[in-house]
Amino acid sequence: MNDQIKIKTALISVYSKEGIEDLARKLVSYGIQIISTGGTFDFLMSRGIHAVSIESITSYPSILGGRVKTLHPKIFGGILWRRDKFSDVDDVEKYEIPSVDLVVVDLYPFEKTVAATGNEEEIIEKIDIGGISLIRAAAKNYAHVMVVASSGDYQAFLDVLAKNSGYTNRSDRRQFAGLAFNISSHYDTQIFRYFNRQANIPAFKQSILTALPMRYGENPHQKSTFYGNLADVFTQLHGKELSYNNLVDVDAAINLIGEFSVPTVAIIKHTNPCGVSSRNSMKDAYLDALACDPVSAYGGIIIANGTIQPDLAEELNKLFFEILIADGYENDALNLLKSKKNRIILQKNSFELPQLQFKSILNGVLEQDKDVTSEQQIDFQYVTNKRPSQEETDALVFANRIVKHLKSNTIVLIKNNQLIGCGMGQTSRVDALRQAINKAHSFGFDTNGSVMASDAFFPFADCVEIAGEAGVTAVIQPGGSIRDIDSVNYCNEHNISMVITGIRHFKH
């Protein structure tokens, strides 16, 4: 079989007319005959581009309100016949089936329609039948037929034509077939996901067409690609290209800052917050967040839930950090922050985070709901004789918002809406508590009058004993241990208040 095939006839049927006029004119310049359907036929003819209508080939009109136009043996036979198989050659001659060497098709905008309306009738009408069938037929027969299934591939296809003077070779056709199946599989996945909102069929179906190769993965010897559209999440205003580890930390930072509505700054290191503070001004919030652990803050990720003003920019400029994320920047502040060439500056966009999480594990994928639960005062169960004061209650809510974002086992110590100590990623909750106390003391914080939050229950009373000795006056924890009463009794004996939420916040 000759690897090079000259395109003589093209079938064009597109929903979006973007770019199709220029493409069609190029095809005509190569002497290629165009067959077209309905709206596409009218569009081309109105632009002075001659085309042959589908109806003139099939001798059948478009029926059922346009639902059936191309589904005919004379069309699919012309695409699917194998030029090197005698029986196929006999069939196309016997039934006078015109050959089709190129199929240019796009699909009804199902995904955009779902995003724009809840009208099921309108959504169902955007499930493409003819287009998806044409794509699959042409891609299956790539040995003989070229398929172009997206306007984004028009230029690449024209480059192939120019390179080969109107011919295509097998490797190019196979490449474009792969691109076409990428389009069709994504399309079917979106349709399934729409129906599965009610069907609840247990199947893992995810599809993202946008890919961004990373410089490398978690380590330089690991390859990595991000699938998604980062432009929806933030706008990069300055700095070098983000890395795999940068994106992981940015994700942690954005999820954490979403817990707060008052001016708050958080500093993240290896996905763990090492400094968090809420204050009346963003500058004060940053200075107190930095004070939590100025050592770990070096080279970290800083996020603020407001606008960066020049006075804060001056303070930020004194510290080496990898990334700054904020809702906005005053011009003078931004110009100052841009003084470091590689410093990454991101402006966070308004968007909704996904509510599902996935993790590849063993030979499959784990899916779970994201932990979006943040307990408020109304959710507290008071289990000790002493109830926390309102100031302590506010601090417990603040502490519980932070503890869910640290790696388990974790303990946080809070005072005056400021993280003063944290222990995370420990195999023992006691070790996590001791780490939190030692950190607080090492940076000059007085733990007397602080409150403590734990991501999970206390299996023994040892944690509240150690916390009490450090001056902790109020505790928040999920509860659920068979020995909860031991911790409660200790708190009662030492005038410590404790609340239970009933919600665990493990993070691995």
Catalytic residues: 140, 270
Give the single-character DSSP code of 259: T
Q: Which H helix or E strand runs over 185?
A: helix 170-199
Residue 414 and residue 451 in contact, taking contact as beta carbons nearer than 8 Å: yes
Q: How many helices and strands (H and E) does the chain possess?
A: 19, 25
Beta bridge partners of 365: 360
Beta bridge partners of 304: 265
Name the 3-class secondary structure at 266: strand
Between CA 442 and CA 453 the distance in angstroms is: 20
Give the single-character DSSP code of 387: P
Backbone angles phi, psi at 36, to 5 degrees: -145, 170
Between CA 446 and CA 439 the distance in angstroms is: 11
Give the single-character DSSP code of 69: S
Count the Cβ atoms, other than its own, within 10 Å of residue 357. Answer: 11
Amino acid at 475: V
User: DSSP per residue over 88-141, as a string?
Assistant: HHHHHHHTTPPP--EEEE----HHHHHHH---HHHHHHTS-SHHHHHHHHHHHT
Length reported for the chain: 508
Residue in this structure with the two tokens 């905008």, named with its chain if needed: 109
Residue 455 and residue 404 in contact, taking contact as beta carbons nearer than 8 Å: yes
